[in-house]
Amino acid sequence: LVRYRGCCCLRGGGHRASKRGGTGEGLGSGGAGAALTGSRRAAGDGLLSEPLGHPDFFNVKELFSMKDLFSARVHLGHKKGCRHRFMEPYIFGCRLDQDIIDLDQTMDHLQLALNFTAHIAYRKGIILFVSRNRQFCHLVESTARECGEYAHTRYWQGGLLTNAHIQFGAGVRLPDLIIFLSSLNNVFEPHVAIRDAAKMNIPTVGVVDTNCNPCLITYPIPGNDDSPTAMELYCKLFKMTIIRAKDYRKQREVFHKLQSKEEGN
């Protein structure tokens, strides 16, 4: 969770017309200010709406391939006896009593998750990485730090999202997206934050293994959540996606500023 301090800004649309003969100058500057404000608003709307017109504006398809997923052992699931019934559509088959995940579906779901994450980062949203696996705590925290976001890898206190306004006060901003690199806690139960995020209408992205329940996750990614190589691949992809989206935002802001200056001149 991040404490958010709101800032207040005043927008001046031009000088008011004076009652003593200054009406012409006042209205002229007011009209120019209103036109400038309107152009800035149009540029801001275009800055946010432009990525929505493309199915893959951030080119997340080029970040990974089927070979990368296979080499990272993303396709390896748990034993057949541990299978969750809601994960059966994502299972390709079973070999030596071990479930094999369909990588074709993994690629599609991973692309959707990365694309949504990029749009959140592009709009300067707060992204929270969550994992309860002690083996990958340092990896998750370093990934969040390198891309300028936040991580929670410790014990999740109940009501951290649902009662945030009571525990931390009214000036608390909840995450805009929660990424679960493991949807289970350390006792192999569904993470409490998944349920709380669903209650608070916070979108979630989660890696779900064959023993997980994908129902409450907005963008589930069927894949192995135990292998170190798979976790390194997930963290690498999310980090690259977030950094790329933020760089795109900076480039588009500079472009729109130059464009607005040319229109003003």
- Kindly state whether residues 131 and 73 are assigned to the same domain: yes
Confidence check: pLDDT of 8 > 70: no
Is 264 domain-assigned? no
Could you tell me if 131 and 182 are in contact, meaning their C-beta atoms sit under 8 angstroms apart?
Answer: yes
Which position has the higher pLDDT, 112 or 166? 112
pLDDT of residue 46: 74
Confidence check: pLDDT of 84 > 70: yes
Is 155 domain-assigned? yes
pLDDT of residue 47: 84
- Kindly state whether residues 149 and 19 are assigned to the same domain: no
Is 4 domain-assigned? no
CATH classification at residue 208: 3.40.50.10490
Triad 88, 83, 218: Cα angle to 5°: 60
Give CA–CA dist 198/9, Å, rounded.
33
Domain that holds residue 20: 15-53
Q: Which residues fall within 8 angstroms of residue 156, CB to CB, at 6 or more apart?
A: 130, 132, 185, 191, 192, 193
- Kindly state whether residues 25 and 123 are assigned to the same domain: no
Q: What is the mean pLDDT of the chain?
A: 85
Give the max Cα distance, the chain: 92
Phi, psi (degrees; rounded to nearest 5) at 147: -100, 10
What is the C-alpha radius of gyration for the chain, rounded to an integer number of angstroms?
23
- Kindly state whether residues 39 and 97 are assigned to the same domain: no
- Kindly state whether residues 45 and 96 are assigned to the same domain: no
- Kindly state whether residues 215 and 85 are assigned to the same domain: yes
- Kindly state whether residues 72 and 33 are assigned to the same domain: no
- Kindly state whether residues 148 and 228 are assigned to the same domain: yes
How many structural domains are present in the chain? 2
Is 257 domain-assigned? no
pLDDT of residue 4: 36
Is 254 domain-assigned? no
Is 124 domain-assigned? yes
- Kindly state whether residues 32 and 63 are assigned to the same domain: no
pLDDT of residue 133: 92
β-strand pairing of 150-152 with 177-180: unpaired
- Kindly state whether residues 44 and 72 are assigned to the same domain: no
Give CA–CA dist 166/171, Å, rounded.
10
Could you tell me if 131 and 180 are in contact, meaning their C-beta atoms sit under 8 angstroms apart?
Answer: yes
- Kindly state whether residues 129 and 29 are assigned to the same domain: no
* 164 exposure class (CB count in 10 Å sphere: 0-12, 13-18, 19+): middle
pLDDT of residue 186: 81
Confidence check: pLDDT of 164 > 60: yes
Confidence check: pLDDT of 262 > 50: yes
pTM over 0.85: no
Is 256 domain-assigned? no
Is 142 domain-assigned? yes
Could you tell me if 61 and 40 are in contact, meaning their C-beta atoms sit under 8 angstroms apart?
Answer: no
- Across the range 46-67, mean pLDDT stands at 91
**High-pLDDT (> 90) share of the chain, %:** 68
Q: Which two tokens stand for residue 69?
A: 């997923």
β-strand pairing of 177-180 with 204-208: parallel
- Kindly state whether residues 91 and 126 are assigned to the same domain: yes
pLDDT of residue 97: 92
Confidence check: pLDDT of 129 > 80: yes
